[in-house]
């Protein structure tokens, strides 16, 4: 699978051309992963968006991984067209990891949402094709993009989640630039951001500042 820079993971929102431009800017700034997420889009529209994002991201930063939220079929269609789409991020109620891997291939990068310690332990116990490559854990704080009905994890909930697995754990749920340095100290592999970059006047600059905040936190001088 090669080395993955987990520090900054952009999850997109919306479906217009600004999404493609923002993904390109974030990749250029150093975001290691970009997940194309637009739950309201029909399959044809989502596929077109995924293809456009994958093209510009690959041209800008070939090491940045592009994933599709939930839709294994769309990721598969994009990969069949030769697009540089690397995998999917799945929820607990989506297609099982092993089935997604069977469709996408053994080289696919597959993430799984695991918001509780129990979910993380269950994922940790898996073997073979059923084992995800990383875990997304949230919500960090209440957010409309991650409204799952669970109590927010907060800063102090992540060390126990990290300790429960050797898989990379990514925090998600209204993570803001000011949070990132502190989250970097908890043992997390990285943070997923949505609005902090998607709503920024300069997405590339916002992504750069997020990465700087992570690196300061990892050095414990934030």
Judging by beta carbons within 10 Å of its beta carbon (0-12, 13-18, 19+), is residue 178 exposed, middle or buried?
A: exposed
Q: Measuring CA to CA, how many Å separate 77 from each of 68, 86, 107, 108? A: 11, 12, 16, 13
Nearest-Å Rg of the Cα atoms of the chain is 16
- 10-residue mean pLDDT profile of the chain (222 residues): values are 93 97 98 97 98 98 98 98 98 98 98 98 98 98 70 96 98 97 98 97 98 95 50
pTM summary value: 0.95
The pLDDT of residue 182 = 98
Domains: count for the chain: 1
Does residue 2 fall inside a structural domain?
no
Where in the sequence is the domain holding 104, given as residue range(s)? 8-218
Query: Measured at the alpha carbon of residue 132, what is the angle toward residues 167 and 123, in degrees to the nearest 5?
Result: 70
Q: Are 177 and 213 in contact (CB under 8 A)?
A: yes
Does residue 1 fall inside a structural domain?
no
Which residues 6+ apart lie within 8 Å of 187 measured at CB?
158, 159, 162, 163, 169
Does residue 155 fall inside a structural domain?
yes
Count of other CB atoms within 10 angstroms of residue 221? 8
What is the per-residue burial (b if ≥16 Cβ within 10 Å, else e) of 188-217?
Answer: bbbbbbbbbbbebeebbebbbbbbebbeeb
Does residue 120 fall inside a structural domain?
yes
Does residue 97 fall inside a structural domain?
yes
Does residue 134 fall inside a structural domain?
yes
What is the per-residue burial (b if ≥16 Cβ within 10 Å, else e) of 82-120?
Answer: ebbbbbbbbeeebbebeebbeebeeebbbbbbbbbbebb
Does residue 3 fall inside a structural domain?
no
The pLDDT of residue 62 = 98
Does residue 43 fall inside a structural domain?
yes
- Ramachandran sector of residue 150 (left: φ over 0; alpha: ψ -120 to 50; beta: rest): beta
The pLDDT of residue 49 = 98
Q: Distance (Å, rounded) from C-alpha 14 to C-alpha 195?
A: 11
The pLDDT of residue 145 = 56
Q: What is the CATH number of the domain that holds 74?
A: 3.20.20.70
């Amino acid at each position: 699978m090669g080395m993955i820079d987990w520090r900054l993971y952009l999850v997109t929102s919306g479906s217009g051309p600004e999404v493609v431009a923002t993904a390109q800017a974030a990749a250029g700034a150093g975001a290691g992963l970009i997940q194309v997420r637009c739950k309201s889009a029909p399959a044809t529209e989502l596929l077109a968006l995924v293809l456009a994002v994958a093209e510009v991201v690959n041209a800008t930063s070939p090491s940045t991984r592009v994933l599709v939220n939930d839709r294994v079929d769309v990721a598969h269609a994009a990969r069949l067209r030769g697009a540089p789409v690397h995998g999917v991020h799945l929820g607990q109620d989506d297609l099982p990891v092993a089935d997604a891997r069977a469709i996408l291939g053994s080289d696919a990068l597959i993430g799984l949402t695991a918001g509780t310690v129990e979910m993380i332990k269950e994922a940790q116990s898996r073997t073979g094709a059923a084992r995800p490559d990383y875990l997304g854990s949230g919500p960090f704080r209440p957010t409309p993009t991650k409204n799952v009905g669970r109590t927010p994890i907060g800063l102090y909930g992540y060390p126990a989640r990290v300790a429960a697995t050797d898989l990379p754990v990514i925090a998600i749920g209204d993570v803001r630039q000011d949070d990132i340095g502190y989250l970097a100290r908890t043992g997390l592999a990285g943070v997923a951001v949505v609005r902090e970059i998607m709503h920024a006047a300069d997405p590339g600059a916002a992504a750069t500042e997020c990465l700087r905040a992570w690196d300061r936190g990892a050095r414990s001088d934030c």
